[in-house]
Amino acid sequence: MKLLIDMNLSPSWVQTFQTQAIEAIHWSMVGEPNATDKTIFAWAGKHGYIVFTHDLDFGSILSATGSTKPSVIQVRTQHVTPNYLGEIVLSALRQFEDILIQGALITIDEEKIRARILPLTGRYH
């Protein structure tokens, strides 16, 4: 599993994932900081990465395009630091690894985790 961390999340997430043997890279290391979400989405799909973001626009892109890749993990909370949210995110990665590889939209907040298989058709796990 490879994660591409969006610009709206701290680069410190890279270390959080790498300590769990998860390959991760921050967008600032591979692309322009002002790149559009569509550019980031396309790059992730082309290079086999899962997008990890605090931006709800990626879910909209998945819905509008009917794409099956890349998978997207979006956090929906104001506290998005690894210290606060790290264990919840890592738990979700372990729980939904199989469907993330196949193609999924995972939405995480402090109270629940929702997984939808791609393309977005209303199926939940």
pLDDT band at 39 (very low <50, low <70, confident <90, very high): very high
Residue 123 predicted with pLDDT over 60:
no
pLDDT score recorded for residue 110: 86
For 74-119, how does the pLDDT look when each residue is reduced to its tens digit (9 = 90+)? 999 999 999 999 999 999 999 999 999 999 999 999 889 999 999 9
Instruction: Please state, for a pLDDT cut of 70, what percent of the chain lies above it.
Output: 96
- Report how far apart, in Å, the C-alpha atoms of 26 and of each of 6, 23, 82, 109 are: 6, 11, 14, 21
Cα gap 79→82, rounded to integer Å:
9
Q: Where are the domains of the chain?
A: 2-117
Query: What is the chain's mean pLDDT, rounded?
Result: 94
Residue type, 80: V
